[in-house]
Amino acid sequence: MSDNKTPAGKAGAAVSSSDPAECTLADLPVGQTATVINMKPSLRGKKKFADVGIVPGVELQMEAHAPFGGLLRIKVMESSLSIHRDDAANIIIRKQELS
């Protein structure tokens, strides 16, 4: 599979936050791809997100923003998920180079 998932552990958690490519999922522009680095402790329902594949190391893509701001549509592991912007703001990601 192309979505490479690093084994548990080699956590990207230690990456310095000064990395300019690092931001939250809520800030990822439509069409861009990113890798999940970590979840902020304030994220509610961590297990739920983990169960659908949003775990550190996974690759995801921002597909669309819903009208009136609330929801985001992201592609994770070949499937489309809609999640709320407030929750996305608690997921730290690193943007990938535009190819």
Residues that bind another protein (CB under 8 A): 1-9, 11, 13-14, 39, 41, 44-53, 55-56, 58, 63-71, 73, 76-84, 87
Going by C-beta distance under 8 Å and a sequence separation of 6 or more, which residues neighbour residue 18? none
Cβ atoms of residues 58 and 49 within 8 Å: no
CB of 25 to another protein, least distance (A): 13
CB of 20 to another protein, least distance (A): 23
**Secondary structure of residue 46 in the 3-state scheme:** helix
| Residue 20 or 81 having the CB closest to another protein | 81
| Residue 20 or 47 having the CB closest to another protein | 47
Q: What CA–CA distance (Å, rounded) separates 32 from 65?
A: 12
Going by C-beta distance under 8 Å and a sequence separation of 6 or more, which residues neighbour residue 15? 22, 37, 94
| Residue 19 or 80 having the CB closest to another protein | 80
CB of 43 to another protein, least distance (A): 9
